[in-house]
Amino acid sequence: IIDISTVAALIESPDRFAIGQPISMALRLPNHPHAIELKGRIVRSGPRGIAVKYYDLKQIHEEIIRIYIKNSQ
């Protein structure tokens, strides 16, 4: 992961994906012992990777991401 927020993530990938393509992913953050299951759509695909905007993000997962960002600053 290159960058993360509570609404989207920029993920390093050598592969290109179609804009609008749905994606499911398991994200493991250092501040949480279990992977977070996220659903999203590809909103950008380029040489650095893909940008994924989440949808149906559970409130607990949003809070885990928020705490991770706060502790990473």
Tens digits of residue pLDDT in 39-73:
999 999 999 899 999 999 999 999 999 999 999 88
Query: Do you know the residue count of the chain?
Result: 73
- Percentage of residues of the chain with pLDDT beyond 70: 100
Average pLDDT on 18-26 reads 96
In the predicted model, is pLDDT for residue 26 greater than 90? Answer: yes
The C-alpha angle 56, 57, 63, rounded to 5 degrees, equals 160
Please, which pLDDT band fits residue 32 given cuts at 50, 70 and 90?
confident
